[in-house]
């Protein structure tokens, strides 16, 4: 079938899937007044692949199929492949005004985690199933998402612990037969699931032998019988209190996905009962996903530097020493993230025939972003001043009896009109909204998760450095 167009992608979503939003069943997510904004954001990736100037970035010739496919589903073989994928994520996020489209990338992260883990099992059935599924995605160019986080229940208890109120806080296999498995449970915080074609399921933690029924990974269509999604509310348009924009609104929502005895055929099952490999699968996905997260947060960080520089200039303080210090801190934050993200691709490691970004550098990059984010936010809030939260709205500004006074009193530096200043404050408030700040901290794992991985993966580096100084001391 080849590459899908954006129009074909949107049409594919009218498939009878069960999605609820604000207490109502949604008939078609692609035409729903709110959810269509999310679907159109996801469609950016399909639009990019259609544009000649992005064709070589968004697509790649697949020698097995003899045709061009989405770069996301192409198995990276070297640093160049990893850098191209990195550049694609950065580019698509920039074209989405700082909002990543999410149509292929996180699903591809799960797909690559399947490939690596299957190779480590030595199970030829799993290897063949994953490769067949990869070919299916290549041929059909489907939008995918990854369902990882379980609802967990009592987080101090294991999935199978009898102290849990019920056994379904983690997704589990409740039945096996000659055709496949039946699963029950729920996943939450799943971005883009309501308007993806396929949902790729990954365990969210290490398992014990008693948890073997919970050690399961598979892929299913979003329209599968027994699958229900509940989406969180979100802003789907610019507020009428903000200055009007010609640019389309870009946003995503997350789903609680309920698996009510969902059937999964064996050819789509990639882990089932191998409890020792659950942690391996989680680790492999986290590495891929953090690489993706670092890439799409580069445009976001560029926006943070941009609004900081703009509001400092508008307020007339850009050339003062202490303001330059704050701008320098944000610049260092951005350029460090960019350098670490690219270095992780250049200093790659191999898992079988797949190139994988350097685990230590990838986790350092993600930790750097999350750990320093709130300090950057504080700098921007300081640069903006109290007017960030007390400024008149666009509705106030447009009143004939108020506009003249606002134009007179809310100018900043000479030559900066009040409307220009108020518009940049609108943007800052959107960029620094509470939900985005939470995502920046916890997305792809908390800072402590990155620190744990950095130490685990960095033990070889520590050992090599220790050996070096011991040799220096002995000779």
Domain count along the chain? 1
Ordered DSSP codes for 350-378: EETTEEE--HHHHHHHHHHHHHHHHHHHH
Cα separation, 127 vs 118, in Å, equals 5
In this structure, is residue 294 part of a structural domain? yes
Cα separation, 258 vs 169, in Å, equals 11
> What pLDDT is attached to residue 437?
62
The helix/strand/coil state of 474 is helix
In this structure, is residue 284 part of a structural domain? yes
Total length of the chain: 475
**Which residues have CB under 8 Å from 243's CB, separation 6+?**
394, 397, 419, 422, 423, 426
* Region label for 316, one of left (φ > 0), alpha (ψ between -120 and 50) or beta (otherwise): left
| Start-end of H helices in 25-104 | 35-42, 44-50, 55-58, 79-95
Token pair, residue 212, equals 């073997």
In this structure, is residue 466 part of a structural domain? yes
| Residues of the chain under the 70 pLDDT cut | 1, 434-445
Q: Residues 364, 442: contact at Cβ < 8 Å? A: no
In this structure, is residue 291 part of a structural domain? yes
DSSP single-letter state for residue 15: S
Token pair, residue 443, equals 């997305």
Cα separation, 262 vs 2, in Å, equals 29
Q: Residues 290, 296: contact at Cβ < 8 Å? A: no
Cα separation, 342 vs 338, in Å, equals 6
Cα separation, 449 vs 225, in Å, equals 35
Longest CA–CA separation in the chain, Å: 85
Helices and strands, number each (H, E), in the chain: 16, 14
- φ, ψ of residue 182 to 5 degrees: the values are -120, 130
In this structure, is residue 103 part of a structural domain? no
Ordered DSSP codes for 261-323: EEEEEGGGEEEES-GGGHHHHHHHHHHHHHHHHHHHHHHHHHHHHHHHHHHHHHTT-TTSHHH
233: number of Cβ within 10 Å: 10
Q: Residues 137, 111: contact at Cβ < 8 Å? A: yes
Residues β-bridged to residue 191: 254
DSSP single-letter state for residue 170: S
Q: What is the CATH number of the domain that holds 440?
A: 1.20.140.10
The CA angle 287-290-293, to the nearest 5 degrees, is 155
In this structure, is residue 317 part of a structural domain? yes
In this structure, is residue 445 part of a structural domain? yes
Token pair, residue 25, equals 């069943």
In this structure, is residue 167 part of a structural domain? no
Distance of CA 347 to the CA centre of its chain: 23
Cα separation, 113 vs 134, in Å, equals 12
pLDDT tens for each residue of 365-388: 999 999 999 999 999 999 999 999
Range of the domain at 368: 280-474
DSSP single-letter state for residue 150: B
**DSSP H or E stretch at residue 244:** none
Cα separation, 371 vs 106, in Å, equals 22
Q: Which residues of 372-401 are buried (b: 16+ CB within 10 A; e: fewer)?
A: bbeebbebbbebbeeebeebbebeebeeee
């Amino acid at each position: 079938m080849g590459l899908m167009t954006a129009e074909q992608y949107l049409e594919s979503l009218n498939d009878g899937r069960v999605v609820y939003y604000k207490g109502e069943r949604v008939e078609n997510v692609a035409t729903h007044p709110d959810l269509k904004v999310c679907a159109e954001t996801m469609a950016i990736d399909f639009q990019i692949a259609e544009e000649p100037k992005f064709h070589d970035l968004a697509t790649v010739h697949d020698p097995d199929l003899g045709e061009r496919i989405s770069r996301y589903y192409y198995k990276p073989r070297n640093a160049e492949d990893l850098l191209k994928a990195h550049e694609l994520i950065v580019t698509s996020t920039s074209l989405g005004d700082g909002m990543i489209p999410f149509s292929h990338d996180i699903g591809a992260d799960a797909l690559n985690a399947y490939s690596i883990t299957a190779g480590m099992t030595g199970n030829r059935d799993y290897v063949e199933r994953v490769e067949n599924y990869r070919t299916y995605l290549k041929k059909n160019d489907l939008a995918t998402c990854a369902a990882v986080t379980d609802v967990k229940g009592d987080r101090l208890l294991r999935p199978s612990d009898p102290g849990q109120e019920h056994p379904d806080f983690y997704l589990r296999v409740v039945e096996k037969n000659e055709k496949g498995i039946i699963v029950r449970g729920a996943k939450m915080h799943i971005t883009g699931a309501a308007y993806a074609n396929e949902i790729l399921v990954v365990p969210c933690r290490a398992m014990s032998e008693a948890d073997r029924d919970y050690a399961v990974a598979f892929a299913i269509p979003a329209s599968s019988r027994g699958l229900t999604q509940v989406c969180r509310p979100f802003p789907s348009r610019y507020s009428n209190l903000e200055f009007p924009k010609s640019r389309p609104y870009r946003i995503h929502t997350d789903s609680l996905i309920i698996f009510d005895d969902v059937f999964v055929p064996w050819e789509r099952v990639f882990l089932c009962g191998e409890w020792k490999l659950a942690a391996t699968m989680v680790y492999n996905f986290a590495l891929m996903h953090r690489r993706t997260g670092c890439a799409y947060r580069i445009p976001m960080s560029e926006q943070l530097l941009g609004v900081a520089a703009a509001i400092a200039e508008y307020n007339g303080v850009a050339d003062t020493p202490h303001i330059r210090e704050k701008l320098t801190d944000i610049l260092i934050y951005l350029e460090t993230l960019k350098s670490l993200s690219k270095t992780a691709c250049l200093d790659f490691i191999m898992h079988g025939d797949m190139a994988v970004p350097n685990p230590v550098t990838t986790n350092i990059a993600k930790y750097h972003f999350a750990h320093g984010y709130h300090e950057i936010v504080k700098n921007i809030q300081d640069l903006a001043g109290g007017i960030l939260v007390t400024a008149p709205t666009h509705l106030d500004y447009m009143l004939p009896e108020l506009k003249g006074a606002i134009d007179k009193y809310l100018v900043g530096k000479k030559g900066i009109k009040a409307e220009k200043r108020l518009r940049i404050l609108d943007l800052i408030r959107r960029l620094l909204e509470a939900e985005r700040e939470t995502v920046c901290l916890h997305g792809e794992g908390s800072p402590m998760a990155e620190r744990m991985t950095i130490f685990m993966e960095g033990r070889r580096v520590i050992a090599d450095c220790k050996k070096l100084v011991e040799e220096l001391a002995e000779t």
